[in-house]
Amino acid sequence: MWRYLQYIIFGLTVVLLTIHEIVFVQAGEQERVAWYEGATRAIEGRIRASAATWSAPPAGGVARGVVLFVGDGMGMSTLTAARILSGQRRGNTGEEAQLAWDSFPAVALARTYNMDAQVGESSACATALLCGVKANYETVGLDSSARFENCYSSFDARVPSLINWAQEQGKSTGLVTTTRVTHATPAALYAHAASRYWEDDGKVPPAARTSCKDIARQLLEDEPGRNINVILGGGRRHFVSKVTQDPEEPDKEGRRLDGRNLIEEWSRNHRLRNVAAKYVANKEQFESVDPRKVNHLLGLFSYSHMDFDVDRNTNGSGDPSLAEMTIKALRILAKNPEGYFLFVEGGRIDHAHHYNNAYRALDETLALEEAVRAVMKEVDLSETLLVVTADHSHVLTLGGLATHRGNPIFVKGRIRGKSGETSTRGGIFVGEETGRKRGFDRGWDSFKTGGRPCRGYDAAIDLEPREDRDVDAAERTIDENPVPIAEISINQSIVTESKIEFQQIVRLRHFLFQFFFFIFFFTLEF
């Protein structure tokens, strides 16, 4: 009797694994290949179309280094307002100003929808940008076969990123952000999670903790995260246990439930491997790092996100700027003769927009621009690919009727237009103006004002949502032939210019394999 039962279960296992392979796994792989091939065809078509305008074929080149800048939430209206603010800070009217990437030869619009959402959000948008595959809302590093907060659906949905491909080519890699390093956008570089919120094990559902690692563990334990040479940003709380006090904010504790200190484990593992590695937690420690003597650098400068640049403590106990972090990372990575890939995120543009605080959103945009200008001075532009884009937009609106040239971007109240009429020109609105204002202090995420604007602008809603508007993508190619880039083609444009080869990752068919073979061997005991 038991022998027949074993045969039945074994046969059922084989049948179901076969169905799983054909229906789910191959379907997911076919979808990924379709995205890759579609984006590649789009890039090749644009190259041919652009080349047709040249009298002779342009000289080609391969990028030794790639720097991808992402302004989180940096939509077109944000760029316009930041450009004006930049000019006005220099004493000009502002409209004539140029941001660093305005002169890049290749410019395009990128569509930011998700597979299951018209208005995209950071983690799924970052998956499309960094992995070249459209994803479902609030999932990270997974294709559309994964379901939000469904651990088991993620096993066969994992997709590689630009960092995977760069490391396979022997390149050094780096991640720099002003958010938590485990936050939605940077996480898509190295993590595969059914929820962007699984930043530590305390956020992972108890039933899933043995099968699905939290994002912080994936960063420091798994490939490609553990091989990233430079990791700079915020978010210490996700790397230490609940009984560990934060060194800068002793009234706050870590959030890990497993009792582990991943920072100490990272340092210990590198010592055991005799790797020149260093961990830093403030600006003084950061500035003491000699890029010539360090090959791996981990910097976690804040309990949660790093401060807005305008609120940043610039003393030794404070934080480095985005530009300073970027240049330090670049100097460490550039030592590799095989080249490098560096991801740089101005992540707090998005947060300021969510708070309806236009001042900080624009100031953070200009902080990102400072990082771009610093890199342009640091690298050899003849062998470096620079890309500047956003993951999604925001509903920032510049209102006003025939306002005068040079009108201060943050002016509030009624002003007289060129033809004598008056209109409300708040400089900046969020949605339709209703006169409603909200305080900027969120309690859990408050800020030192330093006498600078710290209030929300007029909005029809309490917290500003994201916007389904195309975002700008500017690329400084190393080729004489500018290549427009759009949508997931941004990902393949980087692959094309740097000759990074992308490969499929072989994955175990976890759930059905483990489940049915457990039943099979369990019956053998009887």
pLDDT in tens, 299-338: 999 999 999 999 999 999 999 999 999 999 999 999 999 9
In a domain, 475, yes or no: no
Q: Is 122 a catalytic residue?
A: yes
In a domain, 280, yes or no: yes
Q: What is the predicted pLDDT for the residue at 417?
A: 53
pTM, full prediction = 0.82
Please name which of 365, 353, 492 lies closest in space to residue 431, comparing C-alpha atoms: 353
**Which residues define the annotated binding site for Mg(2+)?**
72, 183, 185, 345
pLDDT higher than threshold 50 for residue 395: yes
Range scoring the smallest mean pLDDT among 67-71, 88-92, 134-138, 511-515: 511-515
Q: What are the start-end ranges of the H helices in 183-255?
A: 184-187, 215-221
In a domain, 170, yes or no: yes
Question: What's the CATH code of the domain at 235?
Answer: 3.40.720.10
Q: Which of 122, 154, 161, 195 is an active site residue?
A: 122
C-alpha–C-alpha distance, residues 260 and 239, integer Å:
8
In a domain, 342, yes or no: yes
Q: Which residue has the tokens 């009984």?
A: 243
C-alpha–C-alpha distance, residues 297 and 230, integer Å:
5
Domain that residue 139 falls in: 65-390
User: Which residues on adjacent β-strands are paired with residue 174?
Assistant: 230, 342
344-369 mean pLDDT: 96
Length reported for the chain:
526
In a domain, 88, yes or no: yes
End-to-end Cα distance, the chain:
11
In a domain, 46, yes or no: no
Sign of CA dihedral 25, 31, 35, 37: positive
Tokens of 257: 């439930």
Q: What is the predicted pLDDT for the residue at 518?
A: 43
Count structural domains, the chain: 1
Kind plus residue range of the DSSP H or E element containing 385: strand 384-390
Secondary structure of residue 192 in the 3-state scheme: coil
Task: Determine contact, residues 221/276, Cβ cutoff 8 Å.
Answer: no
pLDDT higher than threshold 90 for residue 46: no
Ramachandran angles phi, psi of 84, nearest 5°: -65, -45
Chain-centroid distance of CA 488 in Å reads 14
In a domain, 217, yes or no: yes
C-alpha–C-alpha distance, residues 125 and 146, integer Å:
15
Work out the mean pLDDT of the chain and round it to a whole number: 81
User: Which residues on adjacent β-strands are paired with residue 424?
Assistant: 414
Range scoring the smallest mean pLDDT among 4-18, 147-161, 195-209, 370-384: 4-18
**Which residues define the annotated binding site for Zn(2+)?**
72, 350, 354, 391-392
- The radius of gyration of the chain's CA atoms, rounded to the nearest angstrom, is 24
In a domain, 70, yes or no: yes
- How far is CA 71 from each of CA 79, 122, 186, 268, 361, rounded to the nearest angstrom? 10, 11, 12, 34, 10
